Structure 1
């Protein structure tokens, strides 16, 4: 029985409701009047429910799809402006006791090089990332009770926050580790993490259990209810995601939005971010073994539909996707991307030899951070290294209140310009610096308030003279 407020996974992700939603969407894929009504509701910038959004995803009328894309682009600008937040993943350990059939970290894989960073190696990785210009990390680790216990993760977080190298500092650490207890989530919160991220992989329970035959991750309910426990532990920014390609995308899309609706209804705040990874080739894994892959056009439509359905939520596309694909979906609602990512353990400080592969998946976008930053500006975006909201306590319902009222732009846009100026002064190539300085001058005129604009100019001048870490 579907119950959006229920704490039970089988009730807030009710299989019958998902299937009924998919069927309803198919039946109304050419219903022009209904599609117009849904688009009109989406234009109010208050979101859509999972059935309404699923109809847009199934739409077979090209003119309505074009209207969807135009609306997604405008909503993204209304809520997030032209900012794109930058981050990088940091893989701590690939030891894992699970048997996920789509992941090379699975316990039976004897080909992959198993690694776990010492604290000295963590420090070297962080310095390498700081030397690129990164300020925000997402920690990744396999699930292993003795190799990767919570104590190890906490020690790594302490090490990361403690590294100061030249003008570098990691100002926000997000964490993507296996589902755990309320008590351990409370420890992560105390350690000062930003967002807790956990991909569902697939919401289809029968498929989920087949894809995770052995290990603690086999427990569908424990995994799916993890965000509720994280919020009970005091973490109010959580990030959802599915791995598109494991199950039918229409099913995953509807269930993903049901999960977002559940968090808002039961916990008072929806997801801070939604990620949309697609399965990629990796060691001992062939994506061809799954027959649910989606093409680029379908991927773009999914991104647009998520944007209009949950306009307040940040959307993430990683280096799993190529430059061309990222260029296609950025205007449709993406607000965060990774840059210069390494998906291997120790990959930043010491690039590994092919025979020593410890990567979780192949990276499609191989460009340097400087190349990505310059490309974003050439595309009309503002690369942002900002972490101000987290550090000023604008998280959870406080962030959502600002975002839903579209007031977040009053501080996020100038903060993006300040952190971009830091990057230009400390890390950028001459060509990137020249382009960036011109873009900052252009973007200053878009700051709505005279007082904020004047202060932003003052901060930018002080950054140029060596000071750092200003924020609104």
Structure 2
């Protein structure tokens, strides 16, 4: 039992009771649960656990297919691409699994300078990106002014064709005034990852520093919403705690936020634990590929209106399958993975990464060849100031799909014309024509009008 009081919304006993179920749902129960999902109704904890207990391949595939269909209803057949940007690895927390941990002497510590931020932003833009996720270590007194400055700088970088239109920030718990500083810089989504809701696992991994405060972390999204932040994203680090417990707790958390603030969580990030230089912890609860896909699908069914974010850190075949299991966004390109590929030399510090991890053209080509999804670089919502309640209202009414499809087609054509390799452009135009032929009459008309403008040299066209 925690020495601090857990928030009232966090009902561990109810989670454990739900997880005590061991029997497999029969055909009627499975049908009823999936039919409920198709009506865009969030699943309760008992229904989520029932789907966890499905153990036959046909039933598992059916769950993945319904999750993809729910995603299609909400967002259409597109995959939004964003680039992570690691600003700093200075950190005041000792999290045993993390390369940025305070006492790790293996890595070189660095803050990106303003010129380096501009250089990194240009690399990202020149791949075709319009969206960035900022990542940094967490100091005892979070350097919010540094983050706000980075946001402002990134919005001013222009490569002659493209620019950044949305900057999201991954931060720890802040005070109300600090959130306002980020809002004044026009931050996108504020990402506050619990990593694991399982208290024993959390405390075993986060042993010192600001991130060791388990309860403060649980309460951080409430503080952000109360401070006026319109869009908050949640996330779990799969493998740090039991994924089944974490998924139910995440659903509880999102339900609480929607009930109290009528906003819920804008996004849910699902990343698996990975070995990092100087890590002192192996993965306590390894998550298989099959369970990873099951978790992605169940997150979509539990939270039908949230954006589900995956990363190309996962093996190519796995994130591809995840894109067809309910995911709607993909992190890729730029300095997407600051750990993998770093050379470990005895007595030598691992340098802070400033180059690209993988080029987005490769990811787009893979999506076109294998997954057959429409890559999207659309930034219409941030351009229109569509946030919070306005954004969620459109998603709930499935009105986002009618705009996402044409806008995604236009943003993808911009990428093909200005940033894609010739081979990717040829493939992309063929797939785009296929997608256009499958759109509704209204969507096709809007898409054709936007594409005509893009082909005439216009940029950032949207409805």
Indicate if the aligned counterparts of 2:125 and 2:159 stay in contact, CA closer than 8 A: yes
CA RMSD of aligned residues (A): 2.3
Q: Secondary structure at the match of 2:208?
A: coil
Aligned to 2:265: 271
Tell me, in whole angstroms, the C-alpha distance in 2 between the residues paired with 1:397 and 1:221. 27
Aligned to 1:127: 122
Tell me, in whole angstroms, the C-alpha distance in 1 between the residues paired with 2:284 and 2:367. 33
Q: Does 1:466 align with 2:457?
A: yes
Tell me, in whole angstroms, the C-alpha distance in 1 between the residues paired with 2:342 and 2:59. 48
Match of 2:400 among 408, 420, 423: 408
Q: What are the Cα deviations for residues 105-133 of structure 1, in whole angstroms up to 9, with x where unaligned?
A: 11110011111101111111111111111
Structure 1 residue 76: deviation in Å? 1.8
Q: 1:42-53 residue pairs with structure 2 within 5 A?
A: 42-53=37-48
Label 1:449 to 1:235 Cα distance change in 2 as closer, same or farther (>3 A): farther
Indicate if the aligned counterparts of 2:145 and 2:181 stay in contact, CA closer than 8 A: no
Indicate if the aligned counterparts of 2:122 and 2:157 stay in contact, CA closer than 8 A: yes
Tell me, in whole angstroms, the C-alpha distance in 1 between the residues paired with 2:375 and 2:352. 26
Q: Does 1:260 align with 2:254?
A: yes
Q: 1:44-193 residue pairs with structure 2 within 5 A?
A: 44-145=39-140, 149-193=143-187
Give ranges in structure 1 of 5+ residues lacking alignment: 2-7
Give ranges in structure 2 of 5+ residues lacking alignment: none
Tell me, in whole angstroms, the C-alpha distance in 2 between the residues paired with 1:418 and 1:311. 25
Tell me, in whole angstroms, the C-alpha distance in 2 between the residues paired with 1:167 and 1:154. 24
Label 1:159 to 1:48 Cα distance change in 2 as closer, same or farther (>3 A): same
Q: Return 133-142 or 35-44, whichever deviates more.
A: 35-44
Tell me, in whole angstroms, the C-alpha distance in 2 between the residues paired with 1:249 and 1:74. 23
Structure 1 residue 31: deviation in Å? 4.5
Label 1:252 to 1:100 Cα distance change in 2 as closer, same or farther (>3 A): same
Aligned to 1:340: 333
Match of 1:17 among 9, 14, 33: 14
Q: Secondary structure at the match of 2:237?
A: coil
Tell me, in whole angstroms, the C-alpha distance in 1 between the residues paired with 2:83 and 2:139. 23
Q: Secondary structure at the match of 2:459?
A: coil
| TM-score normalised by the chain length of structure 2 | 0.92
Structure 1 residue 64: deviation in Å? 3.2
| TM-score normalised by the chain length of structure 1 | 0.90
Structure 1 residue 446: deviation in Å? 3.6
Q: Does 1:240 align with 2:234?
A: yes
Q: Return 28-37 or 117-126, whichever deviates more.
A: 28-37
Tell me, in whole angstroms, the C-alpha distance in 2 between the residues paired with 1:106 and 1:272. 28
Q: Secondary structure at the match of 1:79?
A: helix
Tell me, in whole angstroms, the C-alpha distance in 2 between the residues paired with 1:210 and 1:21. 24
Q: What are the Cα deviations for residues 12-53 of structure 1, in whole angstroms up to 9, with x where unaligned?
A: 1222122112113x2x33444433332232232212112211
Label 1:455 to 1:14 Cα distance change in 2 as closer, same or farther (>3 A): closer
Q: Does 1:282 align with 2:279?
A: no
Q: Does 1:357 align with 2:347?
A: no
Label 1:117 to 1:460 Cα distance change in 2 as closer, same or farther (>3 A): same
Structure 1 residue 279: deviation in Å? 0.4
Tell me, in whole angstroms, the C-alpha distance in 2 between the residues paired with 1:410 and 1:295. 36
Tell me, in whole angstroms, the C-alpha distance in 2 between the residues paired with 1:302 and 1:185. 31
Q: 1:322-471 residue pairs with structure 2 within 5 A?
A: 322-343=315-336, 357-358=350-351, 367-378=358-369, 379-450=371-442, 453-471=444-462
Label 1:284 to 1:356 Cα distance change in 2 as closer, same or farther (>3 A): closer
Structure 1 residue 342: deviation in Å? 1.9
Tell me, in whole angstroms, the C-alpha distance in 2 between the residues paired with 1:81 and 1:71. 14
Q: Secondary structure at the match of 2:196?
A: coil
Q: Does 1:319 align with 2:312?
A: yes
Tell me, in whole angstroms, the C-alpha distance in 1 between the residues paired with 2:175 and 2:89. 21
Tell me, in whole angstroms, the C-alpha distance in 1 between the residues paired with 2:331 and 2:283. 26
